[in-house]
Structure 1
Amino acid sequence: MAGFGWDVFAVGVFAAMFSGISKGGFGSGAAFAGSSILALFVDPGTALGIMLPLLMLIDATSVRAYWRKWSWPDARLMLLGALPGVLFGAALYSVVDDDVIRLLIGTICLVFVAWQVMTRSGAIAKSRTNLPRAAGVVAGIITGFTSFVSHAGGPPAAVYLLSRGLEKTTYQSTTVLVFWIMNIVKFVPYAFLGMFTLRTLTVDLFLAPFAVLGAWLGVKAHRLVSENLFFGLTYLLLVVTGIKLIWDALG
């Protein structure tokens, strides 16, 4: 299929559906697991290039439900920081090899899991006071960078937005808006760096229905599946994936 083996297609189906389920039902924080797992089967740039249009499609199907329910002041600050973060990610990607990107993605996987486990266990207390608005720009820079190199912008965005004391729907709507716009911005340097090819776009055509199906299943799973079960399986996947990517990068 489009020059890829059927193993890549099968993993791509899983990655697209997992990202849709995560974004549709459990927030966007863990959605990057799909591209991380795909990076085990193709080079990181190809994995990121395949996943970005799918993430944009998922964003487009989600943003309508949250239209104008977001906190625009917080979203604006994060987006102001996201632009230099994305540009820094693009500059780094243009000068390093695939193993450095594998190392970055693998490290982000393990740091994400460690942070989530410590936060949920209470080892790290969640902020109970609003961070200053300037922190939104800093969070945006980190979000833009991690989103560019691994589609893993959710955690730094959450650290800032959760500190703002936003109501649940406002919080979700703000994350949807931020990543909808950020992924559109990322599309330009991705294209300039050659991360989209006829092969990746052809694969996206095959995977698009699975991404939309995943988003729909995520809404259903939100009501039926324990959040602890979902994230427990996600953390296991990320630990195994992160270790394998780091091993490949260093080996």
Structure 2
Amino acid sequence: MLQQVHDLGTLAVSLLVLAAFLVGFAKTGVSGVGTVSAALFALVLPARASSGAMLPLLIVGDLVAVGTYRRSGSWRVLARVLPAVLPGLAAGWVFIDHVDDTVMKATIGTIVVVLVLLALWQGRSDLTARVAGHPGFAVAAGFLAGFATMTANAAGPVMAIYLVAAGMPKLQMLGTTAWFYLVVNLLKVPLSVSLGLIHPASLLLDLALVPALLLGAWAGVRVAARMDQRTFELAALLLSLVAGVLLLVTL
């Protein structure tokens, strides 16, 4: 993999550095940016390879985020979502094993765009509170988050939609997503290894990108502290929409 990236030249490496910076920024700032980083990885590397290459980097970001926001999370909310994540991960694992890169990107891009548009429409209607309070909403969000994160490391939009619809305050949202991603990404490791998506070369690439991730995490903390609740919610949703469109236009 390192040789593949080297062969793509300076632009490809620059995109990976930017993606790593955005991973860190998403973990401590606006989560929707994380899906933009997934799209950038998929631009440089084949979709399957990009999924495995990102996972260890995401876990590093998760540890930084948990260390930053560990006191702000809501385990009550996580308890509603996490049980449905497991079948979503399993479905994504099977999906990856049976489809090519184009189908993966098209599927995840479509899911992201549809969900974000739905969330933005809900924000302009009186359905938000009723939908967010329905038990089936948590189950659907958990399953889709599991499937999206297994196939393209793109659970960010799903969780952003769920937590925004639930009316969760900014800091609590950051703390909850930090714990959620740490648990889920650790669960993904054996599945990704079994598919051959994580190997020594990908780990060396991740190690080289960690400094950019840490810089992004530092920037994310400072930006999040300055954003009001409504701006934070809109940024999370709109950046997720941009990421979904990127996945579709790079087929």
- Rounded to whole Å, the distance in 2 between the matches of 1:240 and 1:132 is 29
Provide the TM-score with structure 2 as the length reference: 0.83
CA deviation profile, 1:22-45 (whole Å, cap 9, x unmatched): 22222x233111111221221001
Q: TM-score, normalised by structure 1?
A: 0.83
65 and 76 in structure 1: CA distance in 2 versus 1, 3 angstrom threshold: same
Residues 1:127 and 2:132 are matched in the alignment: no
What is the DSSP-based 3-state SS (H/G/I as helix, E as strand, rest coil) of the residue aligned with 1:152?
coil
Q: Verify: 1:2 aligned to 2:6, yes or no.
A: no
2:69 is matched with: 66
Aligned to 1:159: 161
- How many angstroms apart in 2 are the aligned matches of 1:211 and 1:233? 22
> What RMSD, in angstroms, separates the aligned Cα atoms of the two structures?
2.9
- 1:150 counterpart (152, 166, 180): 152
Residue among 107, 111, 114 paired with 2:110? 107
Partner of 1:202: 204
Aligned CA distance change for structure 1 residues 88 and 128 (closer, same or farther; 3 Å): same
Moved more, 229-238 or 105-114: 229-238
The letter of the residue matching 1:50 is: A
Letter in 2 for 1:2: L
Q: Secondary structure at the match of 1:195?
A: coil
From 15, 20, 25, the equivalent of 1:11 is 15
Q: Which amino acid aligns with 2:203?
A: L
Q: Tell me, yes or no, if the aligned pair for 2:36 and 2:243 is still in contact at 8 Å.
A: yes
Mapped pair 1:98 → 2:105: no
Partner of 1:186: 188
- What's 1:81 paired with? 84
Residue 49 (structure 2) pairs with residue 52 (structure 1) = no
Point out where structure 1 has 5 or more consecutive residues left out of the alignment: none
1:244 and 2:246 matched? no
Comparing 59-68 with 198-207, greater Cα deviation is found at 59-68
Task: Tell me which of 39, 42, 47 is aligned to 1:39.
Answer: 42
Give the total of aligned pairs.
Answer: 243
Secondary structure of 2:72's aligned partner: coil
Identical-pair percentage? 30
Instruction: Identify if the C-alpha distance between structure 1 residues 211 and 73 changes in structure 2 by more than 3 Å, giving closer, same or farther.
Output: same
Instruction: Please give the alpha-carbon distance, in whole angstroms, between the structure 2 residues aligned to 1:225 and 1:19.
Output: 19
Matched residue of 2:206: which SS? helix
Q: Cα deviation per residue 1:25-75 (whole Å; 9 max; x = unaligned)?
A: 22x233111111221221001111111111111110010232243221220
Instruction: Write out per-residue CA displacement over residues 135-182 of structure 1, whole angstroms, 9 at most, x where no aligned residue.
Output: 323321111011111222123323333344444333322121111101
1 or 2, which has the higher helix percentage?
Answer: 2
* Structure 2, unaligned runs of 5 or more: none
- Assess if the C-alpha contact under 8 Å between 2:85 and 2:142 holds in 1: yes
CA positional deviation for 1:83: 0.7
Secondary structure at the counterpart of residue 198 of structure 2: coil
